[in-house]
Chain A
Amino acid sequence: GESVGLHLPTLSVQEGDNSIINCAYSNSASDYFIWYKQESGKGPQFIIDIRSNMDKRQGQRVTVLLNKTVKHLSLQIAATQPGDSAVYFCAEIGGATNKLIFGTGTLLAVQP
């Protein structure tokens, strides 16, 4: 199966700080990107999405930035809370295959 990378990197932040989670995607033909949050033992939960014709999109406490030149996505979480502790994945869709492919993932640990 397809996957990008093994073993989760970890980002540790203090409660109340802003978090920035980065992701490098693989397919330059991808035109739609999604950030998911996954808590232990559960399926991924949608956070925010962005199309390739945009470079920034904001939601509630979250912002996604897209840099197509270097194939890079970031997720910014403002005022990080303990409930934000989870694994965060970026996913890409596009090209001829229409597959939803996940990135490596980052474990966000929020310290109280």
Chain B
Amino acid sequence: GAVVSQHPSWVICKSGTSVKIECRSLDFQATTMFWYRQFPKQSLMLMATSNEGSKATYEQGVEKDKFLINHASLTLSTLTVTSAHPEDSSFYICSARKTGGYTEAFFGQGTRLTVV
């Protein structure tokens, strides 16, 4: 299967700082990337959908100014958590799809964010 690389795998930051998480499709072009947040023992909650070259579509209740998403190329999307607070601590996961239609989404290994 295709490979999606997410970096960093874990990060600890101080309250008020910003953190950038990168999601790269290593061997395919991803026209669509998804960003999820997951709390312990819960499902993946979709935060936003990003399409290359256009603005991300955020889910209801997700602050677009706090969670900045950039999908500048067909192989890279970034999520920046701005002015992080302890309640932003979570597991963030990205996913990439090659094209629309009946194609699976491949997932990164996730990023564990801890805000202290």
Residues of chain A at the chain B interface (Cβ within 8 Å): 1-8, 32, 34, 36, 41-46, 49, 51, 89, 91, 93, 97-105
Complex interface: chain A residues within 8 A of B59 (CB)? 1-2
Does A6 lie within 8 Å of B42, measured CB to CB? yes
User: CB within 8 A of B112: which of A41, A89, A99?
Assistant: A41
Number of interface residues of B (CB under 8 A): 34
Interface window among B13-21, B44-52, B68-76, B77-85: B44-52
CA distance A7 to B59 in the complex (A): 21
Residues of chain B touching chain A, judged by Cβ–Cβ distance below 8 Å, are 1, 4, 6, 32, 34, 36-37, 41-47, 49, 59-62, 91, 93, 95, 97, 100-102, 104-110, 112
Most chain A CB inside 10 Å of its own CB: which residue of B32, B97, B105, B106: B105
Distance in angstroms between the alpha carbons of A43 and B37 in the assembled complex: 11
B28 to chain A, nearest CB (A): 14
Task: Tell whether, in the assembled complex, residue A101 and residue B46 are in contact, meaning their CB atoms are under 8 Å apart.
Answer: yes
